[in-house]
Amino acid sequence: MPTAIDALTPDPADFRVHVVAESIRLFSDQGYESTTVEQIAAAAGISRRTFFRQFGAKEDVIFADHEALLAQVAVHLDASEGDPWIVVCSAAELVFAHFRDTHELAVRRFQVVQEVPALRDRELVTTYRYQRLFEDFLRTRLPGESPVRVVAYAAAVTGAHNYLLRSMVRGDHDATMERLRVELARVRAGFAPAGTVVEHTWDEVRDVVSVVTYPHGTSPDEIARQVGEQLRAQQRHHGQ
């Protein structure tokens, strides 16, 4: 017989987060091995049949909200225009925002995953799926770009994001969205073509620092001219 949640047919993303939260709560309170599918289904207010239809198995449910998040990231990438390198960074920010907004859930998941080797392996696979989305997007938008640069950039963005995400989950109050934006700007600066101005917004000083890269031997006049053009373009973009 269907339960209340089965009958309500809630939003799929909210439904997954709800079931994931209940499963992680049980894993945290009782231990992963001691928690059964029947207990998860009962706590989430769904039938055992619905659980298996939606999640497959107990080891799948703990990362199930990632499926909805991966879909959101894919939509964001496909719908975004502008500099593809920046779009990848904004997608990483979207992921960070999700876990910032579900902080308690992220903390509990981290604690459970650290205790179960199989879940740690599963987490690595899940993390790599975000990186692959970034790589595929860059290959599509920048077909002439070096494959090495594409893979390296996607890995650098993912690595910076994951480091700060883990820091946030561990309670580091400096692991904020603003900090992530600064670090991603640094990553972009390392991959930026010659003549590109990359802005860093520093939370501590509320100032802007520009990093500019040019080939050796470029004249000061030419650098000044191109920097001026870049800054004017940015001012037009921000409506200043």
Q: Is the same domain home to 81 and 182?
A: yes
pLDDT at 207 over 90: no
- Quick check: 218 pLDDT over 70? no
Single out the residue in 35, 61, 87 at which a domain terminates.
Answer: 61
The answer on 175 and 88 residing in a single domain is yes
pTM over 0.95: no
Residue 46's nearest CA partner among 69, 15, 70, 25 is 15
Same domain, 107 and 206: no
Residue 219: other Cβ atoms inside 10 A? 9
Confidence category of residue 58, pLDDT binned at 50, 70, 90: confident
- pLDDT per position as a tens digit, 151-200: 999 999 999 999 999 999 999 999 999 999 999 999 999 886 654 555 54
Return the pLDDT at 63: 87
- Is residue 182 within 8 Å of residue 202, measured between CB atoms? yes
Query: How many CB atoms lie under 10 A from the CB of residue 32?
Result: 19
175 and 207: one domain? no
Residue 8 is part of which domain span?
4-61
> Do 54 and 153 have their domain in common?
no
What is the SS3 assignment for 209? strand
Hey, what are 15's tokens? 């439904």
| Domain total in the chain | 3
Tell me, yes or no, whether 130 and 215 share the same domain. no
**How far is the C-alpha of 84 from the C-alpha of 98, rounded, in Å?**
21
